[in-house]
């Protein structure tokens, strides 16, 4: 490519600027000559010098990275007919009798008990010289056999020690000694813009090396993990491989990509290694991960809600529902509370709470601070254990029944007192049931059957209390209502005249 020519107008401006500052062009050598009194600005050292050389990193860490192949056992007994599922579905849909056709290659229609077939390819890295290997849970999920291949081409059948779907971390064990192991890095020292490298088996191509920079930290893509975002090329098969800093330390496990095509598009996510090690330690000790729970459903606190209820900045986790007989219920946490601190740590965003609670050992007594109707309250809570595959408890929602009504024309609501049966069904002490919603109330999303628990941080136990509080508020400003709908509780802002 030819050098880009300098435009004549730009050259003229440069000459004019030189004349104005006392500099001139030499007649013979065409160089810009500065007068003796001119001051030269000190040279600034460049912030970035050259590109890194990854060869030493690859030599040092490469032998500790492994390829993982999995197989799964599939049933070869879809039916006695020997037909494939598409043909069987045709007969089922039209109510036709299924003919008994022997399976091809299976005399007399006898099916095999099952056969192994390849199910996936991933990556991993050696945690310890005695054969513990870390990878992603989704790499080994459903596998009947796991094969680990080292860089020296030795292959081992691996035993799955444990896996955790929530964090996508798994640990497998191979029967070998004296293996090269990785060094664990400090995620806290990792900076955005820092060079990082990945080694893995994209598309089954073993020992492939890619590099890039850290694009962001603390990316919220899950309840329990703040991911590291990078622009390192990660593709199918890289899953479970290490993300390395320039010191050759593992700072993450390559786990996810953002893609519209299934291939790399410039955004990759890695599990922070400190979170992964915490999980792997439990998996190696007990084969499972134990997490804490307090029994609340939570949601985001918006800026408008925070300002309207006096919280100030949008922070904390809004409690939408409290499970009966849960640690939260026993501690006195109520729907509508905003949890702003847990165990002395601030809850800046809603995702912070499940991570802090999840990392708490069950049975631990922890402090919790909530913002409730304009005031801070400090509570003590005993953390319970998350049950694996915990079943969701279905709760019958109490049906509305007629009651005394009163019209709050100012905000477009007609409300009624709750019956004792309704209070018991909803596990609440008081409130008013919305009979109809119109105008500003309807625009705010309120509807028949909702229960108003508080107005402008003031509890309303019945219709009389509702009207008393409503009479005192400034109706020219947005009005915050704490509303219960089924099992969920949420703040709703009613804006006068559509403001």
3-class secondary-structure state, position 345: strand
Catalytic residue among 123, 163, 239, 308: 239
* Among 79, 81, 138, 439, the one annotated catalytic: 138
Residue 484 pairs in a beta bridge with 451, 489
User: Strand, helix or coil at 304?
Assistant: helix
Structure-block tokens of residue 177: 């000694």
CB 307 within 8 A of CB 300: no
Q: Is 369 annotated as a binding residue?
A: no
Retrieve residue 68's tokens: 């993982």
Structure-token pair, residue 479: 């009005």
12 is known as an active-site residue: no
Taking the C-alpha atoms of residue 149 and residue 368, their distance in angstroms, rounded to an integer, is 48
Half-sphere exposure of 150 (CA within 13 A, CB side): 22
What are the angstrom distances between the C-alpha of 313 and each of 59, 151, 456?
Answer: 50, 53, 17
**Does the annotation list 128 as a binding residue?**
no
Give the Cα separation of 259 and 280 in Å (integer).
Answer: 28
> For residues 167 and 186, what is the distance between their CA atoms, to the nearest angstrom?
19
The span from the CA of 196 to the CA of 209, in Å, is: 11
Is 237 part of any known ligand binding site?
yes
Euclidean distance between the first and final Cα of the chain, in Å?
A: 59
Distance CA(185)–CA(191), nearest Å, equals 13
CA 166/CA 288 separation, integer angstroms:
12
138 is in an annotated binding site: yes
Per the residue annotation, which of 164, 168, 352, 417 is the catalytic one? 168
Q: Could you count the other beta carbons within 10 Å of the beta carbon of residue 253?
A: 29
Q: How many CB atoms lie within 10 A of CB 54?
A: 18
281 is catalytic: no
Is 212 within 8 Å of 232 (Cβ atoms)?
A: yes
Segments in 101-253 forming alpha helices (H): 137-140
Task: Of 197, 172, 219, 218, give the one whose Cα is nearest residue 51.
Answer: 197
Q: Is 235 known as a binding-site position?
A: no
Whether 425 is catalytic is no
Query: Do residues 383 and 363 make contact, with C-beta atoms less than 8 angstroms apart?
Result: yes
Q: Which residues are annotated as a binding site?
A: 138, 168, 237-239
Q: Which residues are annotated as a binding site for substrate?
A: 138, 168, 237-239
Active-site positions read: 138, 168, 239
């Amino acid at each position: 490519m030819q050098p880009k020519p300098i435009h004549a107008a730009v050259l003229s401006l440069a000459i004019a600027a030189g004349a104005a500052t006392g500099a001139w062009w030499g007649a013979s050598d065409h160089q810009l000559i500065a007068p003796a009194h001119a001051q030269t600005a000190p040279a600034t050292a460049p912030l970035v010098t050259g590109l890194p050389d990854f060869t030493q990193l690859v030599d040092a860490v490469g032998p500790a990275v492994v390829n993982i192949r999995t197989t799964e056992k599939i049933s070869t007994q879809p039916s006695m007919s020997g037909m494939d599922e598409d043909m069987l579905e045709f007969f089922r849909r039209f109510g036709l009798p299924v003919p008994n056709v022997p399976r091809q290659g299976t005399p007399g229609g006898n099916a095999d008990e099952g056969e192994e077939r390849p199910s996936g390819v991933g990556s991993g890295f050696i945690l310890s010289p005695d054969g513990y290997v870390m990878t992603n849970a989704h790499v080994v999920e459903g596998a009947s056999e796991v094969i680990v291949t080292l860089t020296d081409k030795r292959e081992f059948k691996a035993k799955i020690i444990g896996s955790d779907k929530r964090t996508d971390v798994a640990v497998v064990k191979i029967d070998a000694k004296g293996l090269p192991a990785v060094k664990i890095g400090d995620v806290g020292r990792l900076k955005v813009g820092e060079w990082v490298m990945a080694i893995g088996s994209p598309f089954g191509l073993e020992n492939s090396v890619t590099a890039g920079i850290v694009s962001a930290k603390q990316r919220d893509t899950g309840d329990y993990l703040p991911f590291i975002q990078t622009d390192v090329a990660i593709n199918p098969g890289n899953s479970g491989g290490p993300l390395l800093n320039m010191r050759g330390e593992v700072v993450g496990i390559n786990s996810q990509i953002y893609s519209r095509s299934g291939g790399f598009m410039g955004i990759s996510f890695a599990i922070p290694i400190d979170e992964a090690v915490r999980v792997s330690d439990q998996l190696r000790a007990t084969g499972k991960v134990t997490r804490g729970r307090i029994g609340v459903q939570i949601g985001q606190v918006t800026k408008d809600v925070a300002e309207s209820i006096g919280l100030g900045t949008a922070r904390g986790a809004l409690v939408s529902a409290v499970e009966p007989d849960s640690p939260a219920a026993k501690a006195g946490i109520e729907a509508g509370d905003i949890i702003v601190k847990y165990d002395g740590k601030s809850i800046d965003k809603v995702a912070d709470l499940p991570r802090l609670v999840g990392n708490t050992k069950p049975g631990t007594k922890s402090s919790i601070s909530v913002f409730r109707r304009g005031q801070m309250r400090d509570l003590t809570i005993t953390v319970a254990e998350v049950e694996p595959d915990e079943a969701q408890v279905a709760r019958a929602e109490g049906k509305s029944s007629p009651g005394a009504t009163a019209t709050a024309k100012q905000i477009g609501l007609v409300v009624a007192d709750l019956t004792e049966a309704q209070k018991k069904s909803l596990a609440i002490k008081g409130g008013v049931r919305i009979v109809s919603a119109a105008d500003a109330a309807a625009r705010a999303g309120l509807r028949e059957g909702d229960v108003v628990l508080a107005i402008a941080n003031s509890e309303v136990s019945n219709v009389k209390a509702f009207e008393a509080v409503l009479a005192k508020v400034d109706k020219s400003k947005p009005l915050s209502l704490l509303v219960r709908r089924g099992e969920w509780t949420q703040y709703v802002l009613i804006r006068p005249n559509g403001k």
